[in-house]
Amino acid sequence: MARVGGINIPDNKHVDVSLTHVYGIGRKTAQDICDKLKIKYSKKVSELSEEQLDKIRDELKNFQIEGDLRRDIEKVCRLEGKEQKQMQEQEKVQGNLLKHNGWQKEDKKNSN
């Protein structure tokens, strides 16, 4: 197995499919990398030379993949969760219409 992007990619699969095993690299990106490096999609990873694998590794350094990408996604999800919690904790936000968000004026409550 070839080690690319910090993980082992399968040798018995085509290059574009095998690159999708790297987190953050989809089929289109894998094909773009192959096009840029002039590697045929139909070539299997086991058929690649060490020089071609080095070129792929160098090209993958331009992308945010694996641990860095996972960390950033987790951070964004955590921030979105905090924002949602803050919105739920807030009572009336400036600009909200009282009749549309469940708020009622005290004198309307008492008159019913």
Residue 95 lies in a domain: no
Residue 82 lies in a domain: no
Residue 86 lies in a domain: no
| Structural domain for 26, as ranges | 2-60
Which whole number is the average pLDDT over 10-36? Answer: 91
What is the spatial distance between Cα 11 and Cα 17, in angstroms, rounded to a whole number? Answer: 11
Question: What's the pTM?
Answer: 0.63
Q: What's residue 4's pLDDT?
A: 84
Q: What's residue 39's pLDDT?
A: 92
Residue 12 lies in a domain: yes
**Res. 36: pLDDT tops 90:** yes
Number of domains into which the chain is organized? 1
pLDDT tens-digit series, residues 39-85: 998 899 999 999 999 999 899 888 888 878 888 888 887 777 777 76
CB 49 within 8 A of CB 24: no
Q: What's residue 74's pLDDT?
A: 84
